[in-house]
Structure 1
Amino acid sequence: MKRVVAGALLLLLLCACRSDPALHSDRIAPGHYRLVVDRCHVIDQRQLEQDLRALAGKQCPDGAGALEAVQPIPSRQGTLLGECLRSGALRAEVRCKAR
């Protein structure tokens, strides 16, 4: 019985300990990336756009152009207990500036 309780507690902790925001980038072509940001606790869309710009800056060390094709997508954040009541996600594309 103690193992079941310990296992349930561990599962609960793992569900609650998700990184926020979840950032992901895919290279489409040289210097062209598709970016996705997914947040559990979103205040407004500007917050997601700031996350996208920060991710673009990491992908483009010489500078990133404007975010293109920005669109909301379904969030994948959430847990069994539903503590992500204001989750949100955005996808965009960015082109890196050439040297």
Structure 2
Amino acid sequence: MRAAAGALCVLLLAGCQSDPSLHSTRIGPDQYRLQVDRCHVIDRAQLESDLRALATRKCPAGAGALENIQSLPSQQGSLFGECLRRGALQAEVRCMP
């Protein structure tokens, strides 16, 4: 019984361990499409902050402004409903030379 309860706790926490989910795709020279998906979103500014942090990692010489910011359907989900305030954003960024 304890093993089953422990396994359930691990499954519940697994959804939050990967929060946020960050992805980037190169779409041109020094240009990336960025995506962030969160299980627990406070507000849109939080998602934009995640996008800026990802842009900084992708562009070591500096990142330009986020462009074409769009809301996406969140892929975060769970069997037990722990992702009540989920959200996702996509943007494009150009890296500085």
Bucket of the pairwise TM-score, normalised by the shorter protein? 0.7 to 0.9
The higher radius of gyration belongs to: 1
Offset at residue 93 of structure 1 (A): 0.3
Q: Counterparts of 1:29 and 1:70 in 2: how far apart (Å)?
A: 17
| Aligned-residue CA RMSD (Å) | 1.7
Correspondent of 2:13 among 1, 12, 16: 16
1:96 aligns with 2:67: no
Percent identity over paired residues: 63
Shift of 1:78: 1.6
In 2: Cα distance, 1:10 partner to 1:77 partner: 20
**Unaligned runs of at least 5 residues, structure 1:** none
Distance, in Å, in 2 between the alignment partners of 1:7 and 1:70 is 42
TM-score by length of 1: 0.86
Unmatched 5+ stretches in structure 2: none
SS of the residue corresponding to residue 57 of structure 2 reads helix
Matched, 1:49 2:48: yes
Point out the more displaced range, 5-14 or 70-79. 5-14
CA distance, structure 2, for counterparts of residue 95 and residue 17 of structure 1: 33
Q: Cα distance 1:12–1:80, how it changes in 2: closer, same or farther (>3 A)?
A: farther
